[in-house]
Amino acid sequence: MSAHAETRRLTAPDIRARKNGEPIVSLTAYHTHTARLVDAVCDVILVGDSLGMVMHGLESTVPVTLDMMILQGLAVMRGSRHALVAIDMPFGSYEASREDAFRNSARVMKETGCGAIKLEGGRRMADTIRFLVERGIPVMAHIGLTPQSINVLGGFRAQGREEADWAAIEDDARAVAEAGAFAMVIEAVAEPLARKITAEVACPTIGIGASAACDGQVLVLEDMLGLTPRVPKFVKRYGDLGPGIAAAVEAYARDVRSRTFPGPDNVYAMKKPAG
């Protein structure tokens, strides 16, 4: 039996069962080759709509389309064998009605083979989350800073830094957990509030700019590898690959211009005559 056949991919129930257990390791991926690299250590690979900013240079995630998410989701599924792959539902694909949300979520899961979808919003999306879960679609929720709502929020601003704002965010967390989300991302929320929510809700919390007390963490891969020029405060850079890539490209350009590349080892010689 092949190694691939022996590998069991993690599922939404597996991740849900990690509440108060071993922390959940999650990173984004948008390509087959990066998915293959992170799959070795991650429990969840998130195909985030952040690909609009990271891959396409967009100012926000709002212009990202369903087709873009499906295309990159397929690439990530090809490169992974172990991690649960969750795919973001882009802006406009799930808000209008529960039926729209189901139709588009089902399309994503059928065309990519992913194990879950993720959508943004708290109380306002609880009914939709319940509708999807009851119809066989595992949902990861996303509360706190919700990037698709940037035009309403007025920018990428941390949430819950004043106690007067806590109750609404706690209500969001309870609502999505009670609706059946198997996990929730808590983004850019004041540390004491993220810690409190984690202690209160039944499903795992996955922090990004939240608290080490969360049941897991997620970062955008390119951010933590030093491939993006500007990153939020909550990103810790575990690598600095940008300068290394730039240096390699410069060395290649020098070799091409000096005609030292390709060298003898990089070209094909004529075959020797037979006999």
What CA–CA distance (Å, rounded) separates 263 from 82? 40
> Among the residues of the chain, which ranges form H helices?
3-6, 12-16, 32-39, 51-54, 66-79, 98-112, 123-134, 150-153, 166-179, 191-200, 221-224, 241-257
Question: For 94, which DSSP code?
Answer: S
118 is in an annotated binding site: yes
What CA–CA distance (Å, rounded) separates 168 from 174? 10
50 is in an annotated binding site: yes
Residues with a catalytic annotation lie at 187
What CA–CA distance (Å, rounded) separates 99 from 131? 9
Report the run of H or E that residue 216 belongs to, with start and end. Answer: strand 216-219
258 is in an annotated binding site: no
What CA–CA distance (Å, rounded) separates 190 from 158? 7
C-alpha separations of 106 from 6, 45, 133, 212, 260 in Å: 27, 19, 11, 33, 53
272 is in an annotated binding site: no
Question: For 165, which DSSP code?
Answer: G
Can you say which residues are annotated as belonging to the binding site for 3-methyl-2-oxobutanoate?
49-50, 88, 118
Can you say which residues are annotated as belonging to the binding site for Mg(2+)?
49, 88, 120
Can you say which residues are annotated as belonging to the binding site?
49-50, 88, 118, 120
